[in-house]
Chains A and B, each alone.
Chain A
Amino acid sequence: MDALALARWQFAITTVYHFIFVPLTIGLAPLVAIMQTAWVRTGNERWLRLTKFFGKLLLINFALGVVTGIVQEFQFGMNWSEYSRFVGDVFGAPLAMEALAAFFIESTFLGLWIFGWDRLNKKVHLACIWAVAIATNLSAFFILAANSWMQHPVGAIYNPETGRAEMNDIGAVLTNNTLWAAFPHQITATFLTAGTFVTGVAAWWMVRLVRTRKAENVELARDVYRPAVTLGVIAMLVGGIGVGVSGDIQGKIMYEQQPGKMSSAEALCQGQEGAAFSILTIGDLSNSCENVRHLIEIPGLASYLGTGHFSGPESYLPGVEDVQEQMTERYGDVTASGDPVTYTPNLAMTYWSFRLMIGMAAGSVLLALMALWLTRKGRVTDNVWFARVGLVAIPMPFLANSFGWIFTEMGRQPWVVAPNPTGIDQIRLLTERGVSTVVSPGVVLTSMIVFTLVYGALAVVWFTLMRRYAVEGVPLSVRDESPEAQEPPDEGSDAADRPLSFAY
């Protein structure tokens, strides 16, 4: 493999890996904050037990998200230095804003939350987890602002002297319609992920407790795990509906901004009106249109998703071959070896990652429906299938997130900065021209092997800990550790004499 292919693989490995942890962190932080708010407001211990339980899972997950995020900040310069030179004037700004506005809050207030249970006034301590929750979401906003600019460059001009993109309107960068479609889509996807996680874990516990047939266990299931199921289902419903609606909006925007991505997602080779949405398509994976055969289709649906019309002239969708022809005419780039550029992405990859992104929602839908039925009107359940579906559903939204990003990023190829069809033609960059020129394939390969090994080992540790802490369940007893709940110190002694409430 050459340095380009290796650099792409490395970016894919480190980014997909980083993004295993991120959706759960972004979605679970607000849920834990809601649990703690419920405790502070009602004083009911069940919410404190849930806060502690899911809080620990959040922290285990958070740690890996944080450390793998450092790599993200550095690898643009390391592997993609020419990309960095081209876009830095625009792209660097949201990254720096993310660090200043979001990372600092996340990490500082998370430290306060972890160690501050007995140091901070209850409400101040609660505010810390809310600060973390809001900052993780803010962080997503800035990262998506940067990514959306690569999908649809706005607010910038091309400087022919330097050959670089230059920002001339930060407002346009931060109000990019691509961003405002992607942000709700990603945030609701994290709610779906975290909601499924909370529901799945709580469902498994509920079934297990009820099956012991012991009164106190059934009571625990009803008192503590059932509210967790309810909260998780609400998050799933909000997330599920939101992700569908925002995805629909995004699909229509993408058909305007990157028709090649969307026609590949439908494996639509020739443009047509009333295009069908195919559920199963086979081809020879050679990225050629000749052997594509659609087996199961829903008539008109692809056109509706792309244009809002099932049939008629307004439902026309361009095909892969049309896009290729138009883009060749408009841009006419050649590759390093002098061949004309293929302007559409890998068909099979784009087609299937799109379908897997959508299809992986099935687990959450099934779990939510089961939860609504089996826990209706205050019930708890010993239905083993509820626990089984809960466990199977947990990883599915994680995979949906991954496939969504694989679709978005691979679907943008051959571009790293896709040209804006109504923008400035020179603001575009082929992925092959973004790679570092001074880094040899051997060096990239070395770092790829190192990261893969380290990440692989850490994945095992992460899974072991997540599983072990989930199996442990909510704490048996909790106490209010806040300063206002503590006995006033005796004469001559100091509140500081007590051991720490938490220590590494």
Chain B
Amino acid sequence: MDLAVVWFVLIAVLWTGYLVLEGFDFGVGMLLSILPRGDSEHREKERRVLINTIGPVWDGNEVWLLTAGGATFAAFPEWYATLFSGFYLPLLLILVALIVRGVAFEYRGKIRDEGWARRCDVAIQVGSWVPAVLWGVAFANLVRGVELDAEHQFVGGFLSLLSPFALLGGLVTLSLFLLHGSVFVALKTDGEIRARARRHASVFGVAALVLAGGWAVWAQVAFSVAWTWVAVVLAAACLVTTLVANRRGSEGRAFTASAVTIVAAVVLIFGSMYPDVMPAVDPANSLTVHNASSTDYTLTVMTWVAVILTPLVIAYQSWTYWVFRRRLSTTDIPAPAGLSLKKVREAAFGGASSGGSTGRGLTDGSGSGS
């Protein structure tokens, strides 16, 4: 079999892994300001429940993106070069979003201070809303085709990436990730927030059905090939299943169905592109699976690496989800363990006369044992 085609499929698989996994991470991040209710103390607890549903796994989920990027570089250098230099500004925004979001997850609980937590929440939300929209815009442009010159360089300019079709694509990923995040929260939490997540999932599900349905039919009619109708129908069926299962309280089934919706979306996107990796407005200039790929030797080496390592990655990541399978509720969340920036344990600044020892003189916010 043609290795370039194999790698086209493998890169679609890596993107599928990324969008399915970080899709719900983005959803959870966006829900941070939408789901929590009650007085400020209770809202804070619910925010922590939300963040901790993805706490142990979000970083591993994000590596699927790095791998998709690295694999594109290795297997399709021309695609990597044209795509990343061409989609410069959207990628810059995505990078900054992912940076502040990752740091905010890790640092939010490190300092016990209301203002600190609020600033981290802003970072998490910016870091979730921005990429949730921009990934859709980027992929819609790949479906639609962009302006490439005869050297396969992107010459369209930033504004050419903001066509109505592309912007609608951004709303599609946004609504899909909101839905995906809601059904994930319903699956991973308990108590009031679980019920609230299910109610929100119904709303987002309808929005996703309208937006994604409209976009998929548009993509199908204007830019795709006949066989990807299968993906469109599958996506629609899965969205309906998600809604029905969510209403009935089959949370596992609802989550599975919304995950398969995202898989179907990737199939539609990559299916419509094939045999191009980056269709050009003038088809003669398109980057194709063959004119963009690495040599057979490199692809052979990389195939071995991927065939051996990818199943291992899937195995240990699945195990992680098993280890952290329990549902979280507000009662599971321990007291904040962060330190106070202002008050430091007395011994920290005490000389011989301060009387402070590390065994005594504790001030608020310090000395958590774990």
A→B interface (CB under 8 Å): 52, 59-60, 62-64, 66-71, 73-74, 76-79, 81-82, 84-85, 87-93, 95-101, 103-105, 107-112, 114-117, 119-120, 164, 166-168, 170, 208-209, 211-214, 216-217, 220, 436-439, 443, 446-447, 450-451, 454, 458, 461, 464-465, 468-469, 471-473, 475-479, 481, 496, 499-504
Contacts and interface: CB of A to CB of B under 8 A. Distances in A.
Give 5 closest A-B pairs by Cβ, nearest first. A88-B77, A77-B84, A92-B74, A92-B73, A63-B106
A447 B158 CA distance: 14
Contacts of A468: 111, 339, 341, 344
A100 B98 CA distance: 20
A85 B75 contact: no
B56 A114 contact: yes
A470 to B, nearest CB: 10
A465 B113 CA distance: 13
26 contacts: A60-B106, A67-B103, A70-B62, A76-B73, A77-B83, A78-B84, A81-B85, A88-B77, A89-B77, A92-B72, A92-B75, A92-B294, A104-B60, A111-B56, A114-B56, A115-B324, A170-B301, A213-B352, A214-B352, A468-B111, A468-B341, A472-B366, A499-B331, A499-B332, A503-B52, A503-B334
B84 A81 contact: yes
Contacts of B328: 500
Contacts of A164: 77
Interface string B65-109: 111011111111110111111101101100110111011011111
B309 A216 contact: no
Nearest to B310: A100
A211 B91 CA distance: 53
B222 interface: no
Contacts of B109: 503-504
Contact of A77 (B60, B62, B80, B332): B80
A63 B356 CA distance: 33
Contacts of A92: 70-75, 77, 80, 294, 298
A468 B359 CA distance: 19
A105 B63 CA distance: 10
A220 B358 CA distance: 9
Contacts of B72: 92
A394 to B, nearest CB: 17
Contacts of A502: 334, 337, 370
B111 A465 contact: yes
A216 B359 contact: yes
B56 A112 contact: yes
A166 B84 CA distance: 21
A78 B85 contact: yes
Contacts of A472: 339, 344-345, 348, 366-367
Contact of A454 (B100, B107, B111): B100
Contacts of A478: 369-370
Nearest to B47: A504
Contact of A104 (B102, B298, B317, B341): B317
B368 interface: yes
B283 interface: no
A461 B103 contact: yes
Contact of A473 (B298, B326, B345): B345
A84 B359 contact: no
A93 to B, nearest CB: 5
Interface centre among B73, B110, B323 (most CB of A within 10 A): B73
Contacts of B352: 211-214
Interface centre among A91, A104, A112 (most CB of B within 10 A): A104
Contacts of B356: 212
B300 to A, nearest CB: 9
Contacts of A82: 81
B347 interface: yes
A304 B126 CA distance: 56
Contacts of A62: 106
B249 interface: no
A290 B68 CA distance: 50
Contact of A475 (B89, B154, B354, B369): B369
Given A78-B91, A82-B81, A115-B56, A70 B317 contact: no
Nearest to A502: B370
Contacts of A214: 352, 357
B242 interface: no
A100 B56 CA distance: 19
B306 interface: yes
A504 B313 CA distance: 25
B94 to A, nearest CB: 9
A64 B107 CA distance: 10
B298 A447 contact: no
Contact of A85 (B78, B86, B298): B78
A476 B367 contact: yes
A95 B351 CA distance: 51
Given A443-B89, A478-B370, A67 B358 contact: no
A471 B66 contact: no
A477 B359 CA distance: 9
A438 B155 contact: yes
A71 B337 contact: no
A471 B367 contact: no
B302 to A, nearest CB: 6
A78 B57 CA distance: 28
A209 B105 CA distance: 34
B241 interface: no
B52 A500 contact: yes
Nearest to B294: A89
Given A93-B302, A438-B154, A504 B99 contact: no
Contacts of B214: none
A108 B317 contact: yes
Contact of B70 (A73, A87, A170, A217): A73
B48 A503 contact: yes
A358 B123 CA distance: 40
A170 B60 CA distance: 27
Contacts of B102: 63, 66-67
A108 B316 CA distance: 8
Interface centre among B99, B111, B309, B348 (most CB of A within 10 A): B99
A228 to B, nearest CB: 15
Interface centre among A67, A119, A472 (most CB of B within 10 A): A67
B258 interface: no
Given A85-B77, A107-B60, A217-B347, A504 B51 contact: yes
Given A96-B67, A96-B70, A66 B359 contact: no
B1 interface: no
A481 B370 contact: yes
Contacts of A87: 77
B160 interface: no
Contact of A89 (B96, B295, B306): B295
A388 B51 CA distance: 40
A170 to B, nearest CB: 5
Given A77-B69, A209-B347, A437-B85, 12 more contacts: A68-B99, A88-B77, A88-B78, A108-B60, A167-B301, A211-B352, A216-B357, A475-B368, A477-B369, A481-B370, A500-B332, A504-B52
Contacts of A504: 48, 51-52, 55, 105-106, 108-109
A231 B155 CA distance: 57
A216 to B, nearest CB: 6
Contacts of A112: 56, 320, 323
B103 A473 contact: no
Contact of B88 (A78, A220, A464): A78
B353 to A, nearest CB: 9
Contact of B74 (A79, A95, A496): A95
Nearest to A447: B92
